[in-house]
Each structure stands twice: as C-alpha cells, then as structure tokens.
C-alpha cells in the first residue's frame, strides 16, 4: 500500500510540474503552479491591508518633496515597464514611502504596487540615478513574474515535504524538512531571479533617462549600509561585491539608451495615494 502511495505521489508531482511551466521575458522557464492573475489578486489584498495598517499608525510619508521625488522617478520607470510588457498598462501601479528609518528595503508586488522605506533613503542616501536603479530593479521582479514563481515554489516545497514524509515514513519535524526544501530548491532560483531583475532593471532605468553607471555606485553604498552581510550561499541576493561587478560590466551596454536624445515618457502619480493619475503615455 505504501509503495502504491509513493508511486501515485511521484506521478502526480511529475505531471503537475510538467504542466505548470511558463517562460518569462528573460527567456527562462519558470515553475508556475500559481497564475500571475492569482498572484496579482493576492498581492492587491495584502497591499491594501498593509497600507491601511501603516496609515493608521502614521507611517506613510506625506512630505511633499520626498513624495514628489519618488513619484517622479517611479513614473518614468513605469512608462518604460509598460514598453517592456504592454499588457501591464492595465496594472494598478502605485508607490508609497514607508517611514521606517531602520529598514533598508523597497519592493514591488505582482500587479505593480510598490513601496520604499525611509531607511533606504536615509542610510544609503541615493542620488536620483541610484534611486531609479532601486525602483527599476523592484519593478523588474513584477515584470518577470517572480511573485507567482515564489508562490509556486513554496507550494512545490510543501509538496516535497509531504512526499518525503510518505516515501521515507520519517517522523522528521516539518520545520526541518521545509529548511531542506528551501536550501535545495528555492535559494538557487532566488539568486537567479535577482540577477534577472538586475539585468532588466538597469535597462529600464537607462531607457527612462537614468545613468546606468549608478547601479554599481548604488551597491557600493549598499555594501557600506549593510555591513558584512550574510554569506552569499544563504542569501537570496548576490553579495554586493559580485552584484557591483556584474552591473558595472552591464553599464556600457546601457549607455546608448541613457544618452538617447528626446523626452522620456512618464506616468503621473498621485501625491496623496501614489496611484497613477490621468492619461497614460502612448506606446511607441
């Protein structure tokens, strides 16, 4: 009976994995047990709840100068993101600045909802070109469908935990099995996803009119702000030194986009809600 159960689990898992793959804009095949639309819907719910809580706590920044700076940079980046994936013009793009001075972070959910923390702005002290690299990188995670991929990998990891427990008749703790699944499956792809977002992000920023050479200087500052950091093997991000070298090598390829003459299209974001306002730039 146990052998039959193991065979059934193995067959079901194989069919599920074979039937659930997609290719992102970087040309890489991704495990997709969760659709992008489902990831967008779940992200929206989480975003609304998070912003509501932060608003009630007084942690959403309203300083006009800072909000204008972030909105202006992000608006130009969104316009280029839509050039990359025209269907994302229908996304509910938005960005908020969160007042958490100790948090050096920024993110973009599936569907284009973003946030950046005052800790990154204050501790890293990025120029506009460097800040554009941060936001372009996060936007690229959404364009590359990394949210749905991470959700899918989490599901696959859970399936692996169940299958391992049945196949070995082990009494191992779930937490231990989950750690093995994370190290064996999730982290390598996470590093690959970060590299993809770096590559797409530096191009989006350059096309939006931001100096691609700032990607390397950003990570010089990130390295100083982050101290020694965790070992690269156990990190979901490449180390600052490796990242800096890779981005510096990419910069010359991106300079023609940056140096191109003419106006840069931009989306207008609300100074109070961070949401896109008014007509959106026409695609070229």
Q: Which residues are catalytic?
A: 138
**C-alpha separations of 270 from 83, 131, 161, 193, 240 in Å:** 21, 19, 45, 30, 33
Task: Give the number of other CB atoms < 10 A from CB of residue 60.
Answer: 19
Place of tokens 């050479």: 213
Q: In what order do the strands lie in the sheet with 94-98?
A: 94-98, 113-117, 106-108
- Cβ atoms of 28 and 192 within 8 Å: the answer is yes
* Element (DSSP H or E) covering residue 137: helix 128-143
- Cβ atoms of 79 and 267 within 8 Å: the answer is yes
Six-digit token string for 272: 């109070």
């Amino acid at each position: 009976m146990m052998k039959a159960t193991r065979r059934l689990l193995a067959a079901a898992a194989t069919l599920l994995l074979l039937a659930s793959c997609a290719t992102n804009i970087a040309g890489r095949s991704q495990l997709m047990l969760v659709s992008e639309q489902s990831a967008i819907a779940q992200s929206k719910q989480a975003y609304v709840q998070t912003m509501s809580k932060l608003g009630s706590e007084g942690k959403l920044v309203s300083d006009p100068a800072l909000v204008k700076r972030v909105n202006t940079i992000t608006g130009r980046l969104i316009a280029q993101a839509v050039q990359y994936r025209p269907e994302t013009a229908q996304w509910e793009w938005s960005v908020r600045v969160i007042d958490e001075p100790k948090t050096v972070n920024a993110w973009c959910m599936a569907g284009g909802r973003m946030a950046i923390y005052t800790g990154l702005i204050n501790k890293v002290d990025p120029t506009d070109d460097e800040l554009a690299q941060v936001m372009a990188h996060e936007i690229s995670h959404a364009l590359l469908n990394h949210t749905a991929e991470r959700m899918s990998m989490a599901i696959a990891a859970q399936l692996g935990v169940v299958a391992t427990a049945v196949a070995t008749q082990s009494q191992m703790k779930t937490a231990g099995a989950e750690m093995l699944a994370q190290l064996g499956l999730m982290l390598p792809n996470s590093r690959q996803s970060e590299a993809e977002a770096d590559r797409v992000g530096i191009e989006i920023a350059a096309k939006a009119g931001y100096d691609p050479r700032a990607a390397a200087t950003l990570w010089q500052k990130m390295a100083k702000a982050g101290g020694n950091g965790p070992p690269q093997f156990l990190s979901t991000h490449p180390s600052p030194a490796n990242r800096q070298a890779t981005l510096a090598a990419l910069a010359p390829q991106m300079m023609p986009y940056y140096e191109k003459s003419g106006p840069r299209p931009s989306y207008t974001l609300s100074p109070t809600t961070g949401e896109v306002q008014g007509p959106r730039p026409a695609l070229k």
